Amino acid sequence: MVKKNKSLPPSLTIKFGKWVWTTMWQVMMSKLAPRNTSGEYIRPSSIFRETVGKQAENPYQPATGRYRLFVGLGCPWAHRTLVVRALKGLEDAISISIVSPAGDRGIWVFEEEQEGCQTVPELYKLAKPGYNGRSTVPVLWDEQTKSIVNNESAEIIVILNNEFNEFAKNPDLNLYPEQLKAKIDEWNEKIYHTVNNGVYRCGFAQTQEAYNKACEELFTTLDTVDNTLSKNRYLCGDTVTLADVRLFTTIFRFDAVYYGLFKCNRRRIKDYQYLGAYLRDLYQLPGVAETCNLDAVKRDYYGNLFPINPGGIIPLGPEMSSFIEPHNRESFGCDSVLPNN
C-alpha cells in the first residue's frame, strides 16, 4: 500500500514560510528600528545632554581622570569619540571602557563589571533610577558623581575638542574653529541625515519607497562630497575638522558592512576617486588607525542584527591593507594637519 504524501505543496510551503518570516521580521524591526507611516527609519533622540565646562555653576568641571567613555568598537557613533580623543591626545586624561552587543538580548554588555553594573541599561539606571528608555553608547560618564554627562556623540566630540585642552597632548589642534563653524555645521547637518543616519535609513527601511528615497539621498551626498574633495583635502579646507570625523566613522564601515548588509550597493567608497583616497588620508592620521577595529565592526553588525542577517554569517573581507595604501592628498593643502606630527 502506497502512503500518501501529506506534505504541503511547494508553493504553499513557500507562501506560508514567507508569511511567517515577514510577520516576525516586521515585529523585530519595529523594536530594532522605529519607523514612520511611510516605512522610514526614525532615530530616537538622545536624552542626557549636559556638558563639561569651567562655569562656576556647572557641576561637571574639566579634570583629568574624572571622566570615562563607554564605547562599542563596532558603533560608528561611539567611534567618533575615540577618534577625537586620539587626535587631541586625551588618552591619559579620559579613560575608556569597552562594551559589546548581546544580540539575543538587544543590549550592550560590559567586558568587565563597571560601577557594579554588568550591562549598559544597569549603568543608565544607576545614573537615573527608574530609567526605562534607550541605553545607548557612547556615554560620557562622570566617575565622581556617578552620573551620565552626555550620551549624544555629536555633543561629546565638541566637549572633547573644547574643554580638556589643559590635559591634551595636542591642545593647539582645534577641530571646531570659530571661523569654520558655519561650514562645519552645514556639512554635519547634510552628512548626518543622508550618510551617517542615511545608511541606517537604507538598511532599516521597511518599504521599497523608503529605501529608494534613502539610497538616492545617500549617494547624491557622497557624489557631492567626492566633488568637494576634488578641490579640498578635507571637507572644510586644508585642515581636519569635526565634519571629517563624523563622516569618517561611517565611510570606514561602508564597504565592509553598509554596502552589502544595508543594501548601499550602488558604489563602494573605494570606487570614488577622491573619497576613497580621503578615507585613507584620515585613517593614516596619527592615532586614528588604533581606534579602528574592522573585525569588531563586522562581528557587531553581521553577528547581532538578526532581522537583516538571520544566518549570522560574518564575511571574511575586505582586507585592511587597502587603508594603508598611499593617499597622495598632501598636494591639496599643508603637509602637516596635526601639531607635532
Residue 237 has what DSSP assignment? B
Burial label for 313, CB within 10 Å (0-12, 13-18, 19+), is exposed
Asked if 41 is an active-site residue, the reply is no
Residue 133 has what DSSP assignment? S
Q: Is the Cβ–Cβ distance between 329 and 238 less than 8 Å? A: no
Quote the cell numbers at residue 224. Answer: 557631492
Crossing angle between the packed helical segments 294-304 and 242-253, to the nearest 10 degrees: 60
Between CA 171 and CA 87 the distance in angstroms is 10
Asked if 75 is an active-site residue, the reply is yes
Q: Is the Cβ–Cβ distance between 140 and 148 less than 8 Å? A: yes
Instruction: Name the phi and psi angles at 85, rounded to 5.
Output: -55, -40
Q: List the helix and strand counts (H, then E) for the chain.
A: 10, 6
328 conformational bin, left if phi > 0, alpha if psi -120 to 50, beta if neither:
left
Between CA 282 and CA 221 the distance in angstroms is 19
Question: Apex CA 147: angle with CA 142 and CA 150, to 5°?
Answer: 75
Q: Which entry of 131, 176, 192, 200 is annotated as an active-site residue?
A: 200
Between CA 283 and CA 291 the distance in angstroms is 9
Q: Which entry of 41, 75, 211, 301 is annotated as an active-site residue?
A: 75
Q: What Cα–Cα distance (Å) separates residue 133 from each residue in 7, 16, 151, 304, 336?
A: 46, 36, 12, 21, 44
Which has the closest alpha carbon to 220: 189, 183, 195, 247?
Answer: 195
Catalytically annotated residues: 75, 200
